A and B are shown apart, each in its own frame.
Chain A
């Protein structure tokens, strides 16, 4: 351990910069940014309109005109993949934003008020924990007949308690800190302490949680579309593409299912890795 010979301050600085240059974190962040870029620009860059059918060129293998081939309606798979990125990311993105906002709010309120509020909230959360996410999405699909909003709202509801639990336990620690007491003695209103100090200190944890939730939201949202209670045809979305490709699978054409499945896999791995690394950095800072 050569760092022992260095002055403590310098060793800590070197330690920080090594952490900062974490190659896995950088790689995951790069892949995630590229994927988000694809979701934004994909529809503009795609070589064909996603719903343009060409029955003369149906179920073709990869070629110069259609790099990934065509599906059974003659639609260009690559174009559908690039267009599908938008809905595949917008759904989970919205789920994360909604559940994070609600979960962070409830978590901080539970930690701040404690007592009855805390235990009442935890009872409500226990009920939601008993509902598997995909089941709630299915019930929402049964009620509203699928589409974009039914799975988004259903999954946001299911994800909220997980966020709230993480935020609550971190906020309870924060609540006992001396600076909170100082603010209270200085007559600062509670909401201001919560938003200006506690929330700000919890941001790294919230951010890490957001990234990890995005990975599972991506899987659950895709599953809802796959089951037919989410995005409906003829729209392009990866989970739906896996399901549509299943029909061609029996003829041995795997391009659509494989490429859409692979996009989901890459996205989830990238966001999970990013979230994990951000989380351990947030944990290390305390």
Chain B
């Protein structure tokens, strides 16, 4: 369920432009991405304002007088209709003000900032694992008949293990039984942090590694069956050279798209892994804020996740357009 609009963005146009200048393509994707983020933010904002509980109760308590309640209401800006509040939120958010946390009585930006580094470290670590192992496994699976069943078994299982299951099993085996890794926390300093985050990163990367391996196997096998590869082998080029020059280069585009999509999805997935390992990143902050009904924080982190997702998928879309000129033309020559 991950193949989002990476390709549809460029293939959708039906107008018979012979060639679409790159600048126009970029402008269109950026506008489309901005519209998507705006629409998504309105959806989440409206959903959160539907909530049955009254946020005013949390600030002034149940026994406040109607006047106190009205004052708190006006202070929060809740006396205005939803669209007005939403526009306020957006204009503030664009200027870097994400509102105030109700539970922490602190600016959301100040809460999120120190934690986002932890989350991004976790995501980066997982991304490295995914790209290295996913592509390596996929290349093995695509090139060697002996490895293919092993790789496809790994793919089948890897795609079917939810992150929360792999996380808890890894904690049970490697942190508790064997004691090789700490069971929770994010650690201080570079080496300690790596030590703390390696297990969460493995849990986070398992399913996506399988996905990238699957895509790489398919792309390598497709290229390996093409004429130019047969010609290269016939010319007597070595296996390694044929693989590097002819197969890997042509297989790179789908593999890059698949890897990029995984990185986009990792931030949302890290919510689960951070909760399982009690890593103090934005994911576990999100879950704590959901429990505390701290909606400004929920809103801010949700939007952060959506923005990262949209930015990465848009960049992928653009990278594809720049790297592969064929995707720029539609009706014209191919």
**Interface of A with B (CB < 8 Å)?**
122, 126-127, 129-135, 138-144, 159, 162, 213, 215-216, 219, 222-223, 226-229, 239, 242-243, 245-246, 249-250, 252, 254, 257-258, 261, 264-265, 268-269, 272-273
Residues on the A chain within 8 Å of B8, using CB: 122
Chain B window 161-181, contacts with chain A (Cβ cutoff 8 Å), 1 for yes, 0 for no? 111110011011100110000
**The residue from B157, B289, B291 contacting A265, defined by CB atoms under 8 A apart:** B157
Q: Smallest CB–CB gap between A219 and chain B, Å?
A: 4
Given A242-B168, A252-B176, A273-B156, A129 and B47 contact (CB-CB distance below 8 Å): no
Q: Quick one: closest A residue to B291, CB to CB?
A: A228
Q: How far is the CA of A239 from the CA of B163 in the complex (A)?
A: 11
- Contact between A143 and B291, CB atoms less than 8 A apart: no
- Contact between B43 and A127, CB atoms less than 8 A apart: yes
Q: How far is the CA of A252 from the CA of B40 in the complex (A)?
A: 43
Q: How far is the CA of A125 from the CA of B147 in the complex (A)?
A: 39
- Contact between B163 and A223, CB atoms less than 8 A apart: yes
Q: How far is the CA of A145 from the CA of B306 in the complex (A)?
A: 22
Q: Smallest CB–CB gap between A245 and chain B, Å?
A: 7
Q: Smallest CB–CB gap between B157 and chain A, Å?
A: 7
**Interface of B with A (CB < 8 Å)?**
1, 4-5, 8, 12, 32, 36-37, 39-40, 43-44, 47-48, 50-52, 156-157, 159-165, 168-169, 171-173, 176-177, 183, 265, 268-269, 271-272, 275-276, 286-287, 289-291, 293, 295, 298, 302, 305-306, 309-310, 313
Chain B CB count within 10 A is highest, among A219, A222, A228, A243, for: A219
- Contact between B37 and A130, CB atoms less than 8 A apart: yes
Residues on the B chain within 8 Å of A135, using CB: 268, 271, 302, 305-306
- Contact between A132 and B265, CB atoms less than 8 A apart: yes
Residues on the B chain within 8 Å of A229, using CB: 290
Residues on the A chain within 8 Å of B276, using CB: 226, 246
**The residue from B165, B293, B302, B306 contacting A261, defined by CB atoms under 8 A apart:** B165
28 A-B residue pairs with Cβ-Cβ distance under 8 Å, sorted by A, are: A131-B40, A134-B268, A135-B268, A135-B271, A135-B305, A138-B271, A138-B286, A138-B298, A139-B302, A142-B298, A143-B47, A213-B1, A215-B160, A219-B160, A223-B163, A227-B275, A239-B164, A249-B168, A249-B172, A252-B176, A254-B172, A258-B169, A261-B168, A265-B165, A269-B156, A269-B157, A269-B160, A273-B156
- Contact between A264 and B162, CB atoms less than 8 A apart: yes
Q: How far is the CA of A213 from the CA of B32 in the complex (A)?
A: 28
Residues on the A chain within 8 Å of B306, using CB: 130-132, 135
- Contact between B168 and A139, CB atoms less than 8 A apart: no
Q: Smallest CB–CB gap between A128 and chain B, Å?
A: 8
- Contact between B156 and A261, CB atoms less than 8 A apart: no
Residues on the A chain within 8 Å of B295, using CB: 142
Given A132-B265, A142-B48, A227 and B168 contact (CB-CB distance below 8 Å): no
Given A132-B265, A243-B164, A216 and B1 contact (CB-CB distance below 8 Å): yes
Residues on the B chain within 8 Å of A261, using CB: 161, 165, 168-169
Beyond the given A131-B43, A268-B159, please list 18 additional residue pairs across the A-B interface where CB-CB is below 8 A.
Answer: A126-B5, A127-B36, A130-B4, A135-B271, A138-B287, A138-B290, A142-B51, A142-B293, A143-B47, A143-B52, A216-B1, A242-B168, A246-B171, A249-B176, A252-B176, A252-B177, A265-B165, A269-B160
- Contact between B271 and A227, CB atoms less than 8 A apart: yes
Lowest 7 A-B CB distances belong to which pairs? Answer: A132-B268, A261-B165, A268-B160, A219-B162, A226-B164, A142-B290, A127-B39
